[in-house]
Amino acid sequence: MEKENNMALSSAGTSRVRQRKRSNEVIPEPNKPNGGTLLVDDRNKYKSMWIRTYSTVWMIGGFALVVYMGHLYITAMVVVIQIFMAKELFNLLRKAHEDEHLPGFRLLNWHFFFTAMLFVYGRLLSQPLVNSVTPDKFLYQFVSSLIKYQMAICYFLYIAGFMWFILTLKKNMYKYQFRQYAWTHMILIVVFTQSSFTVANIFEGIFWFLLPASLIVINDIFAYVVGFFFGRTPLIKLSPKKTWEGFIGASVTTMISAFVVSIIFFFLS
């Protein structure tokens, strides 16, 4: 009898657990892949559209102001964006528990970051910086000396960072520290490779920066607009509101705009 009672209690417990699991499960609706509503079916889509339009106008206006101010200001904008990108990438493999046992270890990432920035941009911006500070004798001598010994400065900064890393190694933390060291260098390669080409294009002519940047803006705008009115087929599960209609419409619009915008820039130059 006791065995039967125990079996009955266990079966009742398992049935309750199953019912709780089933009650916690959210069954997605057929028109809502991954629980998200398509933009074309969203009741608040016009409110969202006005908010996006307002922010887009401000962003384009700010971008146009930076472009109007010249090459060095565009480069400064790229550097700021680059810093935020690196910050997000540094945090991907960050573990708070391990970081508590390694005070100051986060600063090492930024040490390597700014060392790489000095190495990459010091070579690309040497002549523009000298030209921009020519009227001031003190700044001219300072920048000239910095450029002259730039490679040596970068070398000693990197060696200092490597020694810093070795001195901060702790037992039972080797795997995490070496993983962070490798991840930091991968971030530097990815971020600075593309940004160095971007900055080089800026000083070869703003046209070579402005054209691809304009096409990115056009692609993003028309992907939203086409998806807003005609989007019915979800594109990827990661972002349920993106649709194939928006992707195809933006692709076609961007290819046409590449010819139109390049002709406009040609006549404006």
DSSP 118-180: HHHHHHHSHHHHHHHTTT-HHHHHHHHHHHHTHHHHHHHHHHHHHHHHHHT--TT-HHHHHHH
Amino acid present at 136:
D
Instruction: Tell me the HSE value of 256 on the side-chain side, using a 13 A CA sphere.
Output: 7
Looking at residue 230, its pLDDT comes to 87
Angle, CA 150 vertex, CA 147 and CA 153 arms, to 5°: 145
Task: Judge contact between 231 and 243, C-beta under 8 A.
Answer: yes
Statement: residue 1 has pLDDT above 80: no
Statement: residue 165 has pLDDT above 90: yes
Task: Judge contact between 102 and 173, C-beta under 8 A.
Answer: yes
Statement: residue 135 has pLDDT above 70: no
Using the CB atoms, write b or e for 115-145: b if 16+ within 10 Å: bbbbbbbbebbbebbeebbeeeeeebeebee
Statement: residue 120 has pLDDT above 60: yes
**What does pTM read for this prediction?**
0.69
Stretch 125-135: mean pLDDT: 61
Largest separation between any pair of C-alpha atoms in the chain: 100
3-state SS class at 233: coil
The angle, 0 to 180 degrees and rounded to 10, between the axes of the packed helices 137-148 and 150-167 is 60
Stretch 235-257: mean pLDDT: 89
Looking at residue 23, its pLDDT comes to 44
Query: How far is the C-alpha of 141 from the C-alpha of 27, rounded, in Å?
Result: 69
Looking at residue 92, its pLDDT comes to 85
Looking at residue 136, its pLDDT comes to 63
pLDDT confidence tier of residue 173, bands split at 50, 70 and 90: confident
Looking at residue 37, its pLDDT comes to 64
Statement: residue 29 has pLDDT above 90: no
Q: How many CB atoms lie within 10 A of CB 108?
A: 19
Looking at residue 130, its pLDDT comes to 57
pLDDT confidence tier of residue 195, bands split at 50, 70 and 90: confident
Between 32 and 121, name the one with better pLDDT: 121
Stretch 158-178: mean pLDDT: 91
Query: How far is the C-alpha of 38 from the C-alpha of 29, rounded, in Å?
Result: 11
Looking at residue 250, its pLDDT comes to 93
Question: In the predicted model, what is the mean pLDDT of the chain?
Answer: 80
The angle, 0 to 180 degrees and rounded to 10, between the axes of the packed helices 174-204 and 105-124 is 20
Query: How far is the C-alpha of 210 from the C-alpha of 196, rounded, in Å?
Result: 16
Statement: residue 147 has pLDDT above 60: yes
Statement: residue 124 has pLDDT above 80: no
Looking at residue 159, its pLDDT comes to 96
CA-CA-CA-CA dihedral for 123, 124, 129, 130, to nearest 10 = 60
In percent, the amount of the chain with pLDDT more than 90 equals: 30
